[in-house]
Amino acid sequence: MRSDHIRPDRRTLLKVALGLGAATTLHLIAADPASTPSRPARAAGTPPAAAAGPPAGLPGRPPAYRLQPMTAGSPPRFRPARPPVRTRPFEELPGLGHSMVLSFDDGPDARYTPDILATLRKHKVRAMFFVCGEMADASPNLLREMADDGHVVGNHSWSHPLIPGLSRAAIRDELGRTSDVVETVLGTAPLWYRAPYGAWNRNSFEIGADLGMEPMAWTVDTLDWTTPGTGTIVSRVLDGAAPGVVVLSHDAGGNRSQSVEALRRYLPRLLEEGYRVTVPQRV
């Protein structure tokens, strides 16, 4: 049975997350759920407009020799999109204010994903979907639906293996094939990935970075894969609700009716409590 149920103690997670928050150079902004959903315009590997290089000297203006960088006159330097290689995943998202992130793993699955998408659409919020390549390959239309609604589509490997048991080449294959499917269907490769079972290793961090992705874990595990009852899933989300929290649920990998129904109940409650349910955007 699939699950992402390998989690350290919650206090450890929070400590780690605080450390990450202090050390991170990655800027995260909350997407505005009220704005028109759009996919990231800039694919990984494309330099930002700001990397166009220093302006050329203007006629009549004395050349600023001392201020001229040594690269002046040469072609703009390409700024690689490869993010710094992390040794731990993000486990919460500080700096988003009174916001929370909902994430759904293992899909898409035609039996459950459409209902989850419908609930998110009804409440005009965005979420993160960490998809498995083999599932995405089988349901490209659901992948398009996610992106069209402004959700973030992340990489959850091709076949949901335990990453630490794989060779470097196999990890690259699992992550690379999945990114390829997402890019083929959506036009942009994923910017985030999540290791199955939350089992990361150094190779996965390095290969993920090579593929232009940041590692994202979670703060609150609903343990919905154990089918504990809809009410229990709802309670776990509401009890764990706090600014910056990332919630883990599943839209595939087994019978996810409880996950579907739980979302219908807890999402309006979170919104009533004043949370913005949103997604991070890498800038």
Q: Which amino acid is at 144?
A: R
**Binding segment (CB under 5 A) for Zn ion, from list 63-71, 189-197, 204-212, 219-227:** 189-197
By CB under 5 A, name the one of 7, 89, 92, 106 that touches Zn ion: 106
Q: Does the protein bind Zn ion through residue 198 (CB under 5 A)?
A: no
Which of these, 113, 128, 175, lies nearest to 280 by C-alpha position?
A: 128
283 near 27, Cβ under 8 Å? yes
Residues catalogued as catalytic:
105, 250
**Is omega for the bond preceding 94 within 30 degrees of 0, making it cis?**
no
The least CB distance from residue 166 to Zn ion, in Å, is: 15
Tokens linked to 85: 């290689």
Q: Which is nearer to Zn ion, 46 or 255 (CB)?
A: 255
The least CB distance from residue 175 to Zn ion, in Å, is: 14
By CB under 5 A, name the one of 89, 108, 133, 196 that touches Zn ion: 196
Q: Does the protein bind Zn ion through residue 89 (CB under 5 A)?
A: no
Tokens linked to 126: 């965005």
25 near 84, Cβ under 8 Å? yes
**Binding segment (CB under 5 A) for Zn ion, from list 100-108, 111-119, 167-175, 206-214:** 100-108
By CB under 5 A, name the one of 91, 92, 105, 137 that touches Zn ion: 105
Judged on CB neighbours under 10 Å (0-12, 13-18, 19+), 173 is middle
Element housing 210 (H / E)? helix 202-210
Q: Does the protein bind Zn ion through residue 4 (CB under 5 A)?
A: yes
Q: Site residues (CB under 5 A) for Zn ion?
A: 4, 105-106, 196
